[in-house]
Structure 1
Amino acid sequence: PAILELCRQAGINLEKYPVRRRTKPVYCIEGRIVDFDAQSNGYDFDHAEDLCNKNPHVDIDCWTKVDDVQNDSEMDHIHPLVQLDPEWGKGLRDVSIGTMASWLDMISGARKIMEKYSVWTCGYCPEVQVGPKGHKVRMCKASKHQSRDGLHAWQEATIDDLVGPNYVWHVRNPFGPPLSNNLKRYYGKAPAVVELCVQAGAPVPDQYRSMMRLDVVPPDLDEVDLVA
């Protein structure tokens, strides 16, 4: 996942997601993936491995001190609001509040990391590349990709490119009638995660209130023609 790759390049190491840190990009030559990193003469992998073994808290490429998360349990990585007392029980509303808080923390943290570590997206397709520059693997299948021979057109990515929000219609009453096409201009939208948490009982975040159009009262179907 793009968000995981961004955190890995920022220096975090996760035992569940082992990766190989590359110093050179991967190329696609005549339909075959070629890795020039293994043929690099200027990078001593044995020396890098020794450094990593001596100090597992240091990223050998970025030299960024990171927390040791290998020995932590899964509950240590869950938002504190979700770590509920077993005797009290995991209420659905409490889980939705914790999920919403974790989502907002992830978005805020990703924005801060993107200020230092580059993220690129293709201008034609949803491909995302985390790194100093885009890769040269010709895998673009967007419109008129034949003229570019499948080469991506890289441009600077935004947080929406890294973590796709997948906007959905906001449903005020989940137990009411389905949304009507005639009233669609009165409905608001929100990211699917936010809408799910709101329907489960989480309060609406301030940054999404205007997007969800909570200040607009949809008219009844027989009143649509009377509304200016």
Structure 2
Amino acid sequence: MALRKKLGEILISKNNILWGWERKFYSTEKKSILRSMIEKRIESRAMDYPIRGMIPVAKDVLKSKNLLIHGVSTLLNFFPIVSCKFCSEVYIGEEGHLIQTCCGFKRHGKKLVHEWTVGGLNDLLVPVEAFHLQHMFQNIVKHHERFDLERVPAVVELCWQAGADPYDEALLPRTPSSDGDFSAVDGIKSITNQDLRSVAKTTLNAWETLREGVQKLLLVYPAKVCKYCSEIHIGPSGHLARNCGVFKFQSWRGTHFWKKAEVDDLVPPKIVWRRRPQDPPVLLNEGRDFYGHAPAVIDLCTKAGIVVPTRYNCMMKIQGLARPVQFSE
């Protein structure tokens, strides 16, 4: 016993020596030196932005965003949409479907029938906002500073940091012309089918250009999204505003948990049920496994008679069955 006790004391003393050497290696003085080096590196990195080669991409994204808003606004004058009163479900048509996917008021129910109301532009193009920063590598936004900064659309902020001016008149849509450009005016009803298809085609091209451009910008410019809510921050690190609205994580005082943002976070596709020619006039809950889906903008453009890219065919189930096949005995 005495020998075992002696060996234990020797091992403890050696471990204390090692621990003391490690603590001396990570001294406060060395941490301050490392901190100054990191801060200097961040300041020097900010001088490399905006990247000149990405400025045309940012301008194309802003122009496509404006064309998309004008195009969807014009198409909504001819193709009505409905939205659920208690959830974010949207359906393009005069009457909603009967598919039971509503979660109810404040998510108190499951698999309920939707209660439909008249929808609008924000139901198809979901607004996503972020804090506007003077430059991308400025100090982290504190909680008490959340009301001092302006909130702008996240795509606009991304293009702003990339060197594009959102107030440039050259990026605004032009008046109607033969090349498909247009300007949406509320209440327009006197438009031919050919012009309507031209508007839908321009809107579809703007949607594709917008998403492709945002994808390119995210490869160069960092953006963050909260893991538990849809908060977006354009910058290398998220802000410290405690406004996360997920109730089960309130023990962290509403602090966001940031991860890398993707295209769908900045430009939500808003997937909706799509009615095909072989489907019944009103989509039923019994055939939900056979119906197709599509992004809301894509479905809206198909109502005008244009053909969408083939990569959406699998999601839309164009040649799929409308109901289960029943074999007679």
What's the TM-score once normalised by structure 1's chain length? 0.66
- Whether 1:115 aligns to 2:190 is no
Among 173, 181, 188, the alignment partner of 1:83 is 181
Deviation at 1:70, TM superposition (A): 2.4
Runs (4+) of structure 1 exceeding 2 A deviation are: 8-14, 32-36, 59-62, 66-82, 173-176, 223-227
Deviation at 1:204, TM superposition (A): 1.8
State how far apart, in whole Å, the 2-side matches of 1:79 and 1:169 are.
33
Structure exhibiting the larger radius of gyration computed from Cα positions: 2
- Whether 1:139 aligns to 2:271 is no
Deviation at 1:176, TM superposition (A): 5.7
Partner residue in 1 for 2:134: 21
Among 169, 172, 187, the alignment partner of 1:74 is 172
Partner residue in 2 for 1:210: 314
- Name stretches of at least 5 consecutive residues in structure 1 with no aligned partner: 1-7, 37-58
The percent identity for this pair of structures is 30
State how far apart, in whole Å, the 2-side matches of 1:102 and 1:137 are.
33
* Shift in alpha-carbon separation, 1:155–1:61, aligned structure 2, 3 A: closer
Among 88, 98, 102, the alignment partner of 2:206 is 102
Deviation at 1:145, TM superposition (A): 2.8
State how far apart, in whole Å, the 2-side matches of 1:224 and 1:179 are.
17
Contact (CA 8 Å) 2:160, 2:166: kept in 1 or not?
A: no
Contact (CA 8 Å) 1:79, 1:101: kept in 2 or not?
A: no
State the Cα deviation string for residues 2-35 of structure 1 (Å, max 9, x = none).
Answer: xxxxxx9965699xxxx66142222114xx6486
CA-atom RMSD in angstroms: 3.8
Q: Secondary structure at the match of 1:151?
A: coil
Letter in structure 2 aligned against 1:70: D
State how far apart, in whole Å, the 1-side matches of 2:230 and 2:297 are.
20
Deviation at 1:180, TM superposition (A): 1.3
* Shift in alpha-carbon separation, 1:79–1:138, aligned structure 2, 3 A: farther
Deviation at 1:67, TM superposition (A): 8.0
* Shift in alpha-carbon separation, 1:125–1:71, aligned structure 2, 3 A: closer
Partner residue in 2 for 1:150: 254
Contact (CA 8 Å) 1:79, 1:99: kept in 2 or not?
A: no
State how far apart, in whole Å, the 2-side matches of 1:24 and 1:77 are.
42
Contact (CA 8 Å) 2:223, 2:235: kept in 1 or not?
A: yes
Deviation at 1:214, TM superposition (A): 1.1
- Whether 1:185 aligns to 2:300 is no
- Higher share in helix: 2
Contact (CA 8 Å) 1:97, 1:201: kept in 2 or not?
A: no
Contact (CA 8 Å) 1:174, 1:199: kept in 2 or not?
A: no
Higher alpha-carbon deviation: 148-157 or 137-146: 137-146
Deviation at 1:200, TM superposition (A): 1.5
State how far apart, in whole Å, the 2-side matches of 1:74 and 1:60 are.
15
Q: Secondary structure at the match of 1:155?
A: strand
Contact (CA 8 Å) 2:292, 2:318: kept in 1 or not?
A: yes
Contact (CA 8 Å) 2:222, 2:236: kept in 1 or not?
A: yes
State the Cα deviation string for residues 143-170 of structure 1 (Å, max 9, x = none).
Answer: 3232111000001111111111110011
State how far apart, in whole Å, the 1-side matches of 2:178 and 2:312 are.
23
* Shift in alpha-carbon separation, 1:95–1:186, aligned structure 2, 3 A: same
State how far apart, in whole Å, the 2-side matches of 1:60 and 1:218 are.
46
Q: Counterparts in 2 of 1:152-167, with a 5 A limit?
A: 152-167=256-271
Deviation at 1:82, TM superposition (A): 2.6
Contact (CA 8 Å) 2:203, 2:301: kept in 1 or not?
A: yes
State how far apart, in whole Å, the 2-side matches of 1:160 and 1:101 are.
17
Q: Secondary structure at the match of 1:190?
A: strand
What's the TM-score once normalised by structure 2's chain length? 0.48
Letter in structure 2 aligned against 1:132: P
Contact (CA 8 Å) 2:278, 2:322: kept in 1 or not?
A: no
